[in-house]
Amino acid sequence: MNEALSLGTVDAIYTGVAFLGQSYGPISISDYPFTMRSYEHWKAYVASDLFDEMSGEYRKVSGNTIAAMTYYGARHVTSNKPIMSPDDMDGLKIRTPNAPAYQMFPKATGANPTPMAFAEVYLALQQGVVDAQENPLPTIQFKKFHEVQSNINLTGHITNSLAMVVSPVTLGKMGDDGQALLNALAEAAASTSDEIVASEAELADWFRAQGVAVNEVDRAPFMEAVSPMLTSADVPWTPEIFARLQAIKE
């Protein structure tokens, strides 16, 4: 999709920042585990000079314009057993999207990340091809993963977001109307983010009413397991970018 966007084959896409990182690595930082402290931290980051600078660098490399960021929700692990500590992740075969950002958390906790197309996940869980998956509560509900998983473990390991990105070809054709499109997408993103936050506040109780075990998790041991990887030489950002992100106040 990102390639089609640059070529003008599609006008706009709605994609994870982890995949934008294929063009400009540092912009994927917010999709990595525990780089964001909360939804409020994420909002402050999206409004920050740091994000503005990285968006500009992404545009230079790809030609594409990030119109807006939409909050997608905090990602949690679903499974057929309680996941209360990193030890409970050991050996777990967990479906993840096919991007390094999503594979870090399983690797840090001893699980086996298994990339798989999103459309295949329900059947793979039902048939035991994978043991677990991770997604925000609204997505778990919409895709009915709770029908084939007995436990939702509130790991909140990634504060997930999607970028609305517009092709330079499209903006070039639109002329002055291009800014109106960008403004409309930003308005839609803000509205959607508010709806996701409201949905998250209600869904834990909804899942419990369906008979699903929703487990409150002490996130500190999970954060400790991931922490060394966030400042290693393997991540696609500099220590300066990481420090600036952590310095942003909610």
Residues 76-99 pLDDT 10s: 999 999 999 999 999 999 999 999
CA distance 206 to 189: 25
What is the identity of the amino acid at 90?
A: D
Q: What is the largest CA-CA distance in the chain?
A: 56
pLDDT of amino acid 125: 98
Q: What is the pLDDT of residue 6?
A: 84
What angle, rounded to 10 degrees, do the helices at 100-108 and 220-230 form? Answer: 120
The answer to whether 47 touches 197, Cβ cutoff 8 Å, is no
- Helical ranges in the chain per DSSP H: 2-7, 17-20, 39-46, 49-62, 100-108, 121-127, 137-142, 168-174, 177-209, 220-230, 239-247
Q: Is residue 138's pLDDT more than 80?
A: yes
Average pLDDT, the chain: 96
For 22-51, what is each residue's pLDDT tens digit?
A: 999 999 999 999 999 999 999 999 999 999
